[in-house]
Structure 1
């Protein structure tokens, strides 16, 4: 097997090029992709894939990028895919990103030049302890970096380039999938499974070096609308029932010592209000509900409704509507039926000289929904850290290990086919 080497720092250059392209998604847009600018990166990725010799590379009308690395084996083995998303989070600006390489990190505080209040400290970022001597990439202090998930994009592209240039490396047919709008929960809404043509795959969207995630939250979203009683505030005594205040009562009645993100970790779920809008007559709140089992998730939904009903008893003139919609489900329920997918992922990480860490993620990936669409799909590390924030960072050396892992996965499936 040929060994991947990051010649001429091609991986870092590739990542920085992608990071500079603004691809923030927009949850308030109904289009697909939610922002047209995501296609700017999609076009660049297609151009590079074609340049590598991946002749079927294309971006469809919805902004999904597809491509095929042809098989180099006579064995009849499954078709696997690797997937990352092109959009960055709307939680923090992604415009005019200025990536900075901090060569040969030695444990010092990293003070970002465009805002000296943004400082990366080892005490705040535990994984920096494992980065001594490595090259760290950050943004400049006024934007996110976009390592979530442009690190994954760069790693898949680098692995594709290596495999196309080294046909002596034996592997089966490999499909590439780059999605828009993952950060707003729509990453696979319009994926063309027939065009993808794969049996299963791996998302490359994880954090810590060596991690492979085979378990995610199960997730619901909830919309609560309160219809209050509005009247002139000068003549409101005994008449007005403010929807804003009723909604405030509901949120205040939710637990503060449990069932909330700031007080939970590991396998604990939560009910989390994420936005509020409204006037006296009508107010609306959006919630996300999370847990690792469908049963606990359903219990949280019932608890939310019971809380609303209890508050509404104090406001006889008002009414409410609560709608709970499924978002994604824990992919472990699917992956446990296909153990080799995770086992070979672990072996691939270890062949890269890294200790594999099989773990859960308190979140979701495109792989969560793809698994339930018939494509079992664990998540492997991309090396991204402090995502959705101005302190976001990635290690070049961790990214190199991710590229090696992707190549190893392809080879292992061929060897054992």
Structure 2
């Protein structure tokens, strides 16, 4: 692998603003995703790789097989967008080479520090190259570490035709962070026996389960009159919504109070006026059936607020987002097994994990393309203290190459 090239491209990618915009009615939801996709096309085309950006902004790249036997096509996927929860524009990366340990101050925001004692993963990065933002934005390693790893792996394979592999496909999606990553992808388009997303935290980890997920939207309409004459007439949508939010559990069924396989309800976005207020809620659980129970809990809370605030109108809807990829992976057991064997071939020890979130792989698996999620050298996503380790991104790229080789084995091709 070309480590400096990998770093250079990663730094280029994170400085392109690809923040997903949930309020947009276009795909992709932000123009920066198209810009990043174009740059990926230019990098891969320069390596002689067949690549195109389709009408939806999704980038597709293909490496033909270089062996004379039938080998199933394997795909790799990462997403171009970054989370809308924090700023993603004007990213100013900080590069720390030969990290010696200790706290990492973020220069643009002195009050924000990545604490060594509070960040166990930093111990695995001693002597490595660490990349952070300046603390005023996300870094964007979620998922530009995965993007950079796949681009480097495909470039490396193109430069080393002596490495045997079957047909390989790379797919770079848009708007994964707002649940639309694979809206325009079908199993027919992917045309692969399986896919691997590189969107995981850390190293050596294969995510084999995700949350099942829905999002609820609640709109409350109040009665707005001039406050000077509001007695007996004015009904505040804001106060009604505040009352609703106050009913959410705090010590259970909340992200700040759960871990492991525990699900939650998470009100994550609220806006409004006296006349109209809107609330968005994440529903999450590893067992899909629990989402129905969570929605029923919300309906009970809404009924209580209707009684408390006569005159309000409430609209409540729940939108399906993704489902646990666990069941789909059972249909093709080689997918996870070969990823583990490939990592062992690199002298590493694989670890299976569950992820308290979702990836494009959750939806791809549901569409018929088994897709576990691989770690890609990113850490603390969706936070100002997000960081990445260059050597761990490089390991992810090497893992892609090793997986390609494992699927090329004569036994795997049967």
TM-score band w.r.t. shorter chain = over 0.9
Instruction: Within 5 Å, give how 1:116-135 maps onto structure 2.
Output: 116-135=110-129
1:42 is aligned, of 37, 44, 48, to 37
The answer on whether the counterparts of 2:104 and 2:116 sit within 8 Å (CA) in structure 1 is no
Instruction: Within 5 Å, give how 1:95-110 maps onto structure 2.
Output: 95-110=89-104
Shift of 1:317: 2.8
| Correspondence for 2:11 | 16
| Correspondence for 1:140 | 134
Shift of 1:123: 1.8
Distance in structure 1 (CA, Å) of the matches to 2:149 and 2:350: 18
Distance in structure 2 (CA, Å) of the matches to 1:156 and 1:136: 19
Shift of 1:10: 2.1
Q: Does residue 1:313 correspond to 2:307, yes or no?
A: yes
Shift of 1:65: 0.3
91-100 vs 361-370, which deviates more?
Answer: 91-100
The answer on whether the counterparts of 2:187 and 2:364 sit within 8 Å (CA) in structure 1 is no
Distance in structure 2 (CA, Å) of the matches to 1:147 and 1:346: 24
| Correspondence for 1:269 | 263
| Correspondence for 1:75 | 69
Using structure 1 for the length normalisation, give the TM-score.
0.94
Shift of 1:8: 5.6
Using structure 2 for the length normalisation, give the TM-score.
0.95
2:364 is aligned, of 370, 395, 398, to 370
What stretches of structure 1 of length at least 5 have no aligned partner?
1-5
| Correspondence for 1:291 | 285
Per-residue CA deviations over 1:179-201 (Å, capped at 9, x if unaligned) read 11111211111236544322220
Q: Does residue 1:400 correspond to 2:382, yes or no?
A: no
Distance in structure 1 (CA, Å) of the matches to 2:89 and 2:393: 23
Distance 1:280 1:98, change over 3 A: closer
Q: Does residue 1:159 correspond to 2:153, yes or no?
A: yes
Distance in structure 2 (CA, Å) of the matches to 1:114 and 1:234: 46
1:187 is aligned, of 181, 194, 202, to 181
Shift of 1:248: 1.4
Per-residue CA deviations over 1:47-95 (Å, capped at 9, x if unaligned) read 111111113x110122100011110122222211000011122222222
| Correspondence for 2:326 | 332
Shift of 1:407: 0.8
Distance in structure 2 (CA, Å) of the matches to 1:91 and 1:127: 23
**Matched positions, count:** 411
The answer on whether the counterparts of 1:19 and 1:150 sit within 8 Å (CA) in structure 2 is yes
The answer on whether the counterparts of 1:271 and 1:290 sit within 8 Å (CA) in structure 2 is yes
Distance in structure 2 (CA, Å) of the matches to 1:252 and 1:110: 37
SS in structure 2 opposite 1:220? strand
Distance in structure 2 (CA, Å) of the matches to 1:74 and 1:227: 66
What stretches of structure 2 of length at least 5 have no aligned partner?
none
SS in structure 2 opposite 1:383? strand
Shift of 1:163: 1.1
